[in-house]
Every structure is written in structure tokens, then in C-alpha cells.
A and B are shown apart, each in its own frame.
Chain A
Amino acid sequence: MIALLQAEWFKLRKSKMVPIILAGPMIGLFIGLSANLEDNMQGIEINEWYISLFSMNLTYALLFLPLISGVFTSIICRYEHQSGGWKQLLALPVTRGKVFVAKYILIMLLVLAMQILYLGSIFAVGIVKGYTDSFPMEIVWKSIVGGWVATLPLVALQLWLSIMFKSFAAPFAVNVIFTLPSILAVNSERIGPYYPWAQPFSMMYIGGNTDDVFFVPWEQVLTVVGGGFILFFLGGYYYFQRKSI
């Protein structure tokens, strides 16, 4: 399994994904620096760090986090599709299950790396703007880890689709089709909590219920995120087992 992860990382490392992993956090950084919500919020008692996060999270969590994690899965499957990589890989003494899991773990590690870079962006914005309030550590746990957890089912579905379709565009199109409505979904109290693509935003949104482990109720994490993860992961896993190469 470790050997398989190393091999996957080796192949992925060489496929120019550094600009992609930087795109989300960089855009977050620009938005954070250019937004001027501070002026509108004068008089409201709130930790300064949260103010820039409101505007940063909006584009990052709503769009870039789900879309870019989908791009990662496309890249990790693309070089297998291109020139018979699948048949060479699967004719080696490896099980398909392990290949699937190794690819999944690697993507989740990349998403985690992106989340950590985004945390760096948050920090950079605060330093540039000269915030004096203490840095709220709960952002790290709730927002960064929460957003990461919320991508678990999305990445599983994307991996399924990326293995199924040879084309780079098809899984991405599906991802866009599901991601864009989350702009509407997050505004709806009825649909928002159940829409998997809206979960990264909901879980990174600071205004949520702060008594729970994350910014959303625990039941919602378990059912929507956990349930979605199990459904999509098993679906992709079994699809890959049966696929004729």
C-alpha cells in the first residue's frame, strides 16, 4: 500500500499540479486583501480575523474548494487514461481496491495541503492588514478541517466519474453542474443542509453554531457528509472492481 502511494505521488508530482494547488489559496488571499468589510462592520463586536474570512470563504469554499478537488481527481486519473496506464498498472501485482484507495488518499492529502495553504492566506491577510486581535484557533479546527471533511464525499464521486470517463472534461462538467447550484442552496434553509456540494461552505462558515465540533450540527455531518461519502466511495470502489480494462 505504501509502495503504491509512493508510486502515485511520484506520477502526480511530475504532472504540474503545483499551480492548481496554489490557485485557490491565492484567490482567497487577493479577495481577503481587496475586501473592505472592516469599514461596514465598525461598531460590531467581532474578532477582526473573522471579517476578512467572510469574504474569503465565500468564493473559496463555495467554488474553488469543490472545483479544484475535482480537478485533482481528474489529473490523478488522466495519465492512466492517456496511454494505457490502467492496463499496465493493473497487470502489476496490485489489487484494484488498493489502487482506488491509494488514489483517494492522495487526493485527500492534496486537498488538506490546499486547506493548509488557505490557512496561510488567512494569516497573511491578517498580517498585512495589521490585525491586533488574537488569532482564533477555532478557525483552524472548525473551518479548515471542517472544509476538508466536507470534500470527502465530493472527491469520492469525482474519483468514480474520473475512472469512468476517459475525457478530462466530463467529470469536471458534472462537478460544475453540481457545484454552481450550491450558491443558491446555501441561501435555502431547507435544501442547504442536505446538499452535499454546499457542505464545504457550510462547514467553513464561521457564523454557524459554535457549540458543536464543527460549524454545522453533528447529525448533518454524519448524515449528509458521512452518508454521501459511503455511498459515493462504495459506488466508485465497486465500479472499479468490475470495470473491464
Chain B
Amino acid sequence: MEYIVQTQNLSKSFGKEQAVSNLNLQIRKGEIYGFLGPNGAGKTTTIRMLLGLMKPSSGTIKIFEKNITKDRIQILAKIGSLVENPSYYPHLTAYENLEALRKILGVSKTRIDEVLEIVRLKEVAHKKVKGFSLGMKQRLGIAASLLHSPELLILDEPTNGLDPSGIIEIRNLIKRLPEEYGMTIIISSHLLSEIDQMATQVGIVSKGKLIFQDSIEAMRRFAQPKVTFKVNNGEKGWRFLLANGIKADYQNGVIFLEECSDEKVAHIVQVLVQEGISVFRVEEEKRSLEDIFLQMTMGEQGK
């Protein structure tokens, strides 16, 4: 399997504090990889190491199957990035900002107009960036990262500070890129809803550790609804169910089942009633992805 980005036991510590520990990222071509975690979980530190802005304390990073410490220049030539807060030169206009980068990247001048068009900053192209709103600066940063049509786009919290329409616009843009240009995208966020709507693959970090890495579908499976039964004698009812070959769980006086079809619910109620147990309530408890995310990261923090 060919990975565009692969890290092995990537770790970084600042003094005694372990910011990132033993991270094994695996990102395939054409994916939108959602890099998710609460603030301060080590997302930006990881991204800085991927870009060679910071040296890892230990572990290796391979991008395009090359080692970042050895072939940094070749790798970076194919990466577009936006790290943390948008970077810009306040004394230059939007157009001049891109021009300063264009000279180094050596792409044609028409690309500047193209990327400004993509992020819809054409009208303000010749205004100083100093006066831009955060959303406009963010879009300029995205424009800059697209300038040399990179194969891998690394966006750190790209929708920070954008208004709802701006978020939708950027989201649609990001979704389009892998299809139209074959780009691979790493997008970090602390908001699950954000990732949920774009990503095909998810990696969750908490306290510097990767606690989940799989497809978004796999993560959604965690979010299956749960059916709970409130009865007058929970424990007795639960034993009857087990005796009848129905796998159920019992906790705090409540019987609950995961993945429960309508027929199964009907059958369970029938069994319980037949055994003379009063059924008070049958409820479906929906767990959102947000709950799962919280549960995952909280569990890690509780340790």
C-alpha cells in the first residue's frame, strides 16, 4: 500500500512535556485526512514537523516515500501549507503577497489571478493585507498554499475565523480538490462536525497520542443508536433475556442493546412481558459523533 504520508513513532518533547508521542500516521493518495483533536493535543506540532519547520525528538517522517530530513526541498516543492494562524506580509497587498511567494516557487504570474479567483479575493487583490478581516487573511493563506498546484495540501484549522458562508465555500473547495486535481489533503480541526463533512479518513489525537485512525465510516459505526429498556426489575429481566439467547447488557438498573432492529425490540418486549416483568419505557438513545469524540478524548485525559 502506497502512503503519501507515513510517520513512524514520531515524537516531540519540549523539555519535560511530551507534546507528541509515538505517532504513526498513514495517509493514502487522494484522501481527505481529518486530523482531529482538542486544542493543545499536538496537531500543530505534528504539522510543523511534517513541514520540516521543527525537528522531531525521535521517529521518522516519510512523505512521497522520501525522508523529510534528507529530501526536504523536493518534498516541499510538492506541498502547499497553511499553518495555524494565516501567514502574510502586512505591508504588501494580497497580490504582492502572492507575488513574493511566486518568485520563489517559479510558477507563472497567471496563477496568482487563478488562485485569487478560487478564494474570491479578486476585488481586494490590490488592497493591503493589514486591513483584511481574519476570514480574508485565511482565504489568502489558502490561495498561497494552492499557488504551485501542490500534490499534498496541509491545512491547519483552515476554517478558523470564517463566517458560515465562508466555511461552506472553503469546504466545497476542499472537497473538490482531490477529485479535480488528484490532491491529497490533510486538514486539522478541533471541531468534529467540520471534519465529518469533508474527511474520508480520520485520525484523532489527544494529549499527543493517536487514539483512533480509520475511515470516517468506521467512526460513524461507533455512533449506532442504543436501545434502552426501563423495567421494574432490571436484573431479573436481563437474566431472562440471556436465558432466551438475546445478548443484552445491564447497567444501573437499565437493560440496553446495541444495534437493535424493530422486530428484535418487539421480541424482547414480548419475552419480558411473558416473564411477568413490567416494561416502563423503551427508548432509543442516539449518540452523536461529537459524543464519541468527547468520550474518546475525555477517556484519554482522565488517565
A contact residues vs B (CB 8 Å cutoff): 3-4, 6-7, 10-11, 14-16, 79, 82-85, 87-95, 242, 244-245
Are B73 and A91 interface neighbours, CB within 8 A? Answer: no
Are A3 and B76 interface neighbours, CB within 8 A? Answer: no
A91-B51, A91-B76, A91-B79 known; A83 vs B100 contact (CB < 8 Å): no
B contact residues vs A (CB 8 Å cutoff): 48, 51-55, 72-74, 76-77, 79, 81, 83-92, 96, 99-101, 103-106, 141, 144
Are B53 and A245 interface neighbours, CB within 8 A? Answer: yes
Are A83 and B88 interface neighbours, CB within 8 A? Answer: yes
Are B89 and A93 interface neighbours, CB within 8 A? Answer: no
> Please, which residues of chain A bring their CB within 8 A of the CB of B106?
3
> Please, which residues of chain B bring their CB within 8 A of the CB of A93?
73-74, 76-77, 104-105
Are A95 and B84 interface neighbours, CB within 8 A? Answer: no
Are B101 and A88 interface neighbours, CB within 8 A? Answer: yes
A14-B96, A244-B55, A245-B53 known; A92 vs B76 contact (CB < 8 Å): yes
> Closest CB of chain B to A102's CB: distance in Å?
10
Are A10 and B99 interface neighbours, CB within 8 A? Answer: yes
Are B84 and A84 interface neighbours, CB within 8 A? Answer: yes
A10-B96, A14-B92 known; A92 vs B87 contact (CB < 8 Å): no
Q: In the complex, which of the residues A10, A83, A91 has the most CB atoms of chain B within 10 Å of its own CB atom?
A: A91
Are A87 and B90 interface neighbours, CB within 8 A? Answer: no
> Closest CB of chain A to B74's CB: distance in Å?
8
> Please, which residues of chain A bring their CB within 8 A of the CB of B104?
3-4, 7, 89, 92-94
A91-B51, A92-B101 known; A11 vs B92 contact (CB < 8 Å): yes
Show 22 residue pairs from A and B whose CB-CB distance is below 8 angstroms, ordered by the A residue.
A3-B103, A7-B100, A16-B91, A79-B90, A82-B89, A84-B84, A84-B85, A84-B87, A85-B87, A85-B88, A88-B141, A91-B52, A91-B81, A92-B76, A92-B101, A94-B73, A94-B104, A95-B73, A244-B53, A244-B54, A244-B55, A245-B53
> Please, which residues of chain B bring their CB within 8 A of the CB of A7?
100-101, 103-104
Are A15 and B91 interface neighbours, CB within 8 A? Answer: yes
Instruction: Name the residue of chain B whose CB is nearest to the CB of A88.
Output: B87
Inter-chain CA distance A230–B127, complex, in Å, is 42
A88-B101, A92-B104, A94-B73 known; A83 vs B85 contact (CB < 8 Å): yes
Inter-chain CA distance A81–B100, complex, in Å, is 16
> Closest CB of chain B to A99's CB: distance in Å?
10
Taking A11-B89, A79-B89, A90-B53 as given, write out 8 further A-B residue pairs in contact, using a Cβ cutoff of 8 Å, ordered by the A residue number: A3-B103, A10-B99, A11-B92, A79-B90, A83-B88, A88-B87, A91-B53, A244-B48
> Please, which residues of chain B bring their CB within 8 A of the CB of A88?
83, 87-88, 101, 141, 144
> Closest CB of chain A to B181's CB: distance in Å?
19
Q: In the complex, which of the residues A3, A14, A15, A90 has the most CB atoms of chain B within 10 Å of its own CB atom?
A: A14
Are B89 and A85 interface neighbours, CB within 8 A? Answer: yes
Are B92 and A245 interface neighbours, CB within 8 A? Answer: no
> Please, which residues of chain A bring their CB within 8 A of the CB of B88?
83-85, 88
